[in-house]
């Protein structure tokens, strides 16, 4: 009984694989090890996971592949016959989607279509996939709830994530595949992505270089610590959605369906001002940042805030790590790693 994790050498994928190994789950990972950010960090994540698996004498491997490679991915499904599939592979980054749109079409849309088809043909028990808080787009009514309309994306990245949710629903309806989409809110922590704010700010402050502060610092974010995300993800994957027998098609609920389909926010539900976030980083490093203030970037939004009441009701867990503790854990890892 394998669990297949795509994006296994990525930030969230790495932490999920680590948790699954500790739980004794046999894992097949897929990652393309692309050059969007430093490949050595992904290779070190892979090395860590392989050493962990060897110490436990359990079955774990990461296969280098693109999820849009239909023939290769079909072969992996047929060989290992996973019962659960966690699709975390995607081209990440809002700003990168402005200049490299084709990468998002290939991985986030074409690649996801391949995963859906393989799940259909292999009759998997549950498909969990990464969506994003970016689907809320131009919405300004906060906190963001799964009941809200998400038809106004402000970046191609966001549009592909909304597309994933729609594609998943069609497969849940047509083929009775349980699917769960997770709208992650600004995930951070050890082994994090180098293109994310915490990593960029820490690196710049340590090297005594300016940090870029967009929208002149007038930003709030629902920063969510990685351990909280993984606990939520693990509980969700072990609880496939069921059909909502009282679903009202005259008054449809955006977060549920007559099909075995759900979407959930995963956030800390405690939005933090960007300047306060930077202040905590400064305290942990023991040095003030050199600040460069810039306007809001295309595709970005000034604020995010999650309503996670549906998630808490579903899995009896709510993310709650404070930014002080979470940032401290990241900076401790950063100093040790670099």
**Cα 319 to Cα 143: distance, rounded to the nearest angstrom:** 15
- Would you call 157 a catalytic residue per the annotation? yes
- Give residue for tokens 């549950």: 126
Distance CA 29, CA 26 (A): 10
DSSP 80: H
Q: Specify whether the CB–CB gap between 190 and 135 falls below 8 A.
A: no
Q: How far apart are CA 213 and CA 291, in angstroms?
A: 7
The span from the CA of 198 to the CA of 31, in Å, is 24
At 86 the three-state DSSP class reads strand
Euclidean distance between CA atoms 127 and 120, whole angstroms: 10
Out of 157, 234, 277, 334, the active site residue is 157
Of 150, 182, 188, give the one whose Cα is nearest residue 168. Answer: 182
Question: 215: phi > 0 → left, psi -120 to 50 → alpha, else beta; which?
Answer: left
- Cis status, amide bond into 143, omega within 30 of 0: yes
Q: Which of the residues are catalytic?
A: 157
């Amino acid at each position: 009984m394998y669990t297949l994790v795509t994006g296994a050498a990525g930030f969230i994928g790495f932490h999920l694989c680590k948790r699954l190994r500790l739980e004794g789950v046999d894992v097949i990972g897929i990652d393309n090890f692309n050059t969007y950010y430093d490949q050595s960090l992904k290779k070190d994540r892979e090395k860590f996971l392989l050493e962990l698996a060897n110490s436990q004498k359990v079955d774990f491997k990461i296969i280098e592949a693109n999820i849009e490679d239909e023939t290769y991915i079909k072969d992996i499904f047929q060989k290992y016959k996973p019962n659960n599939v966690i699709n975390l592979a995607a081209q990440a980054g809002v700003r990168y989607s402005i200049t490299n749109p084709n990468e998002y079409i290939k991985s986030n849309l074409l690649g996801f279509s391949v995963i859906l088809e393989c799940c259909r043909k292999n009759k998997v028990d549950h498909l969990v996939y990464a969506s994003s808080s970016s689907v809320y787009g131009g919405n300004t009514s906060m906190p963001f709830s799964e009941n809200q309309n998400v038809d106004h994306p402000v970046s191609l990245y966001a549009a592909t994530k909304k597309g994933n949710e729609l594609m998943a629903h069609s497969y849940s309806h047509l083929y009775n595949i349980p699917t769960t989409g997770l709208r992650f809110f600004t995930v951070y922590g050890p082994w994090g992505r180098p293109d994310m704010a915490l990593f960029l700010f820490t690196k710049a402050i340590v090297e005594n270089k300016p940090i870029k502060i967009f929208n002149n610092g007038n930003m709030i974010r629902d920063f969510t610590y990685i351990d909280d995300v993984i606990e939520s993800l693990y509980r969700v994957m072990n609880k496939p959605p069921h059909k909502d027998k009282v679903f009202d098609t005259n008054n449809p609920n955006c977060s549920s369906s007559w099909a075995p389909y759900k979407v959930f926010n995963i956030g800390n539900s405690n939005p933090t001002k960007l300047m306060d976030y930077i202040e905590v980083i400064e305290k942990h490093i023991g040095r003030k940042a050199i600040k460069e203030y810039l306007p809001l970037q295309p595709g970005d939004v000034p604020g995010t805030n999650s309503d996670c009441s549906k998630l808490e009701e579903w899995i009896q867990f709510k993310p709650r790590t404070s930014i002080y503790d979470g940032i401290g854990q990241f900076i401790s890892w950063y100093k040790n790693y670099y």
